[in-house]
Amino acid sequence: MFKHRFNFIFAGLLGLYSFWNIVTLEGDRLYQAELPSRDLFYVVIFLAYSVWYVNLGIEKFILPRVKVVHPLILQFSTSLILVTMIALISVEITGVIFGGPFAFSFQNFLLTLGFTFRINLFLNCVNAIFFFNNKFNEKALEAEKLKTLTTQAKLESINTQLNPHFFFNNLSALSVLIHEDVKQADAYLQRLSIIYRYILNNQNQELVTITEELDFLKNYIELLSIRFKDSLSFKMELDSNCKDKLIPPAVLQLLVENAVKHNYFTLKEPLQIKIKSDCKQIEVFNLKQPKNVSEESTGIGLQNISERYRFLNLSIQVEDVKDSFKVILPLIETDEHTFSRRRTFSSAANK
């Protein structure tokens, strides 16, 4: 507290208040020592500044060097010794300069000592409040940082689930293509490398623009077209005015992949998947054509998406009815993303 950049002003204000208090309440007369106001003013101002700067010296030069004693105890105990010396020196000086009622005497020493002790006690009480307030804020900040790091670790853990899940599914498809059509397998591999690069580049990103996500999805759809030809039918109705909206990376791909995984489709009965967006949300819709023997679900898809939105204090909507399945994802404003980043301290800034 004593090192505050306005310490000179604070010490002066304390001296002025102390002088006003003594004059108003006639504090000097209580001790049968009526003192000239002008001389009293100089003495009080001198004592206020002396007590403040003694404590400043303790805080600046002694506290950093002594770690075995609590700083507040060390500050107060050391200040008592030095303030006693100030009182003694003050009585000696005022006796020489002003004389009269300020002349050196044991009574004057006790009065000066009582006054300086009172100022010192007040300053050390305020300093204790300042100290504990700072400690409380530091602990609160540490707790928030720890909470943020834990949240970020959970988010990264969820994101890393995408990589093996996506990669192994497509390795299996690539293995089949290699035996059927080498050229198609080569095209598939090139497209897969582009897609996987996107996932790797964005695995630690909380959000990407809807434009980036849709470009990635189009690459994924081309990948599916190599495998399944015209057995899949995609229809997109997208608002072109929403290019700067944000969305968690790879969520649309996961929804399309789930639709492909849980439904059958042929050239005669293609699977219809519709993607529609406005500037508030984007939805992925498909008519149900459930497989007779459905693949065992790992639970990664929708749960992953739901968890990632939960970290943004948002939720997704799932409409699972008899003939269709639809998932609605909120689109996020840029300023909401900025607020989220401030709130979670962005792991990059804290590493």
94 vs 264: CA distance, rounded Å: 102
Banded model confidence at residue 240, pLDDT cuts 50, 70, 90: confident
Confidence at residue 305, expressed as pLDDT on a 0 to 100 scale: 84
Banded model confidence at residue 325, pLDDT cuts 50, 70, 90: very high
Residue 97 pLDDT exceeds 50? yes
Q: Provide the whole-model pTM.
A: 0.52
224 vs 77: CA distance, rounded Å: 78
Mean pLDDT across the stretch 248-256? 87
Instruction: Give the lowest-confidence range in 5-14, 43-52, 205-214.
Output: 5-14
CA 205 to each of CA 90, 159, 309, 312: distance values in angstroms, whole numbers, following the listed order: 66, 9, 13, 12
Residue 286 pLDDT exceeds 90? yes
Banded model confidence at residue 271, pLDDT cuts 50, 70, 90: very high
Chain segment 33-55, per-residue pLDDT in tens: 556 677 778 888 888 888 888 88
Confidence at residue 336, expressed as pLDDT on a 0 to 100 scale: 57
**Sign (positive or negative) of CA dihedral 175, 176, 181, 187:** negative
Residue 176 pLDDT exceeds 60? yes
Banded model confidence at residue 350, pLDDT cuts 50, 70, 90: very low
Banded model confidence at residue 187, pLDDT cuts 50, 70, 90: confident
Confidence at residue 331, expressed as pLDDT on a 0 to 100 scale: 93
Confidence at residue 29, expressed as pLDDT on a 0 to 100 scale: 47
Q: How many C-beta neighbours within 10 Å does residue 55 have?
A: 26
Contact 116, 83 (CB under 8 A): yes
166 vs 254: CA distance, rounded Å: 9
Q: Is pLDDT larger for residue 237 or for residue 150?
A: 237
Instruction: Give the lowest-confidence range in 33-42, 244-253, 318-327.
Output: 33-42
**Class of the CATH-defined domain 164-350:** alpha beta
Location of each CATH 3.30.565.10 domain in the chain: 164-350
Confidence at residue 284, expressed as pLDDT on a 0 to 100 scale: 95
Q: What is the average pLDDT score of the chain? A: 79
Residue 297 pLDDT exceeds 80? no
Classify residue 344 as left (phi > 0), alpha (psi -120 to 50) or beta.
alpha
Banded model confidence at residue 282, pLDDT cuts 50, 70, 90: very high
Residue 165 pLDDT exceeds 90? no
Q: Give the position of tokens 């000592």.
A: 113
